[in-house]
Amino acid sequence: MTTPTNHELQDLLDNNKRWAADTETREPGFFSRLLKQQTPQYLWIGCADSRVPANELVDLLPGELFVHRNVANVVVHSDLNALSVMQFAVDHLKVKHIIVVGHSNCGGVKAALYDLRVGLVENWIRHVQDVRHMHSEWLYTVPEPQRVDALCELNVLEQARNACHTTVVQDAWGRGQEVVVHGWVYGLHNGLLEDLALTAGKAEDVDPAYRRALANVKRRYAPQD
Ligand SMILES: [Zn+2]
């Protein structure tokens, strides 16, 4: 029986059929190969925002990117969901890179900056408010129109640093496994990803990488004379 909801979703199912057929035509055997294994090199931890679709932005196919997304790309040490994704990606899939990706004009970051009342999710973005409070002295020197984007970038740095401090990453580094944590930001206005240069491949890298990346962000948003 066709319900009104099914009818509304029919476009998506039709798109899917076309996509599967096109993919198989372009690369015969694509799906049967994927069935056997996935060997992604990268774990993407990004925002749930629909304008920041992980695979499309970096032009990767199914099987090439392991993805975790939540509101405002938060990595928090008590989040079993994110930690489980990281643990599976690092211990079993042996990803080489973990990329924490924020984006400009993020709604979650904006809510955290302006104390917007948005319901249950306010509790989640308290983690972003922690970032705001941690950097408030500097943040309020940034001209108001750029402040959201500045906090988006600070949030990437803090969440990437949190990723470095998880038991998953610490244990991987401890046993000499090659895994590098990165912090990137995506520009909604131009479609471009930017590396914030928080790049850590071992425990000793974390503090210098964080300080360097933080200095870069501060330089970028310094008031112009
Ligand atoms: Zn967002």
Q: At what angle do helices 107-114 and 121-134 cross, to 10 degrees?
A: 70
Give one DSSP letter per residue of 133-177, joined into a string. HHTHHHHTTS-HHHHHHHHHHHHHHHHHHHHHHSHHHHHHHHTT-
Contact by Cβ (8 Å): 135, 154: yes
Query: Given pLDDT bands bounded at 50, 70 and 90, which one contains residue 45?
Result: very high
What is residue 104's predicted lDDT score, i.e. its pLDDT?
98
Q: Is 49 designated active site? A: yes
The one catalytic residue in 103, 127, 161, 182 is: 103
- Nearest 10 degrees: Cα torsion 122, 120, 156, 106: -80
- 79-113 pLDDT, tens digit each: 999 999 999 999 999 999 999 999 999 999 999 99
What is residue 225's predicted lDDT score, i.e. its pLDDT?
59
- Long-range contacts of the stretch 8-12 (C-beta < 8 A, 24+): none
93 CA from centroid of ligand 1 (Å): 27
What is residue 3's predicted lDDT score, i.e. its pLDDT?
63
Helix (H) or strand (E) segment spanning residue 123? helix 121-134
Beta bridge partners of 32: none
Q: Is 149 designated active site? A: no
Residue linked to tokens 């972003």: 128
The one catalytic residue in 68, 79, 106, 149 is: 106
* CA 108 vs CA 42, 178, 209, 215: distances in Å: 24, 32, 25, 24
- 61-76 pLDDT, tens digit each: 999 999 999 999 999 9
What is residue 129's predicted lDDT score, i.e. its pLDDT?
98
Q: Is 7 designated active site? A: no
Residues with CB under 5 A from ligand 1 (ion): 47, 49, 106
Q: Is 103 designated active site? A: yes
Q: Judging by beta carbons within 10 Å of its beta carbon (0-12, 13-18, 19+), is residue 61 exposed, middle or buried?
A: exposed
- 131-165 pLDDT, tens digit each: 999 999 999 999 999 999 999 999 999 999 999 99
Residue linked to tokens 């210098």: 208
List Cβ neighbours of 109 (8 Å cut-off, separation of 6 or more): 72, 102, 125, 128, 148, 151, 152, 155
Q: Please give the order of strands across the beta sheet that includes 180-186.
A: 65-70, 42-47, 97-103, 180-186, 193-195
Rounded to whole angstroms, the Cα distance separating 204 from 70 reads 28
Rounded to whole angstroms, the Cα distance separating 196 from 99 reads 11
- 7-43 pLDDT, tens digit each: 889 999 999 999 999 999 999 999 999 998 889 999 9
- Under CATH, domain 38-220 is a member of which superfamily? Carbonic anhydrase (3.40.1050.10)
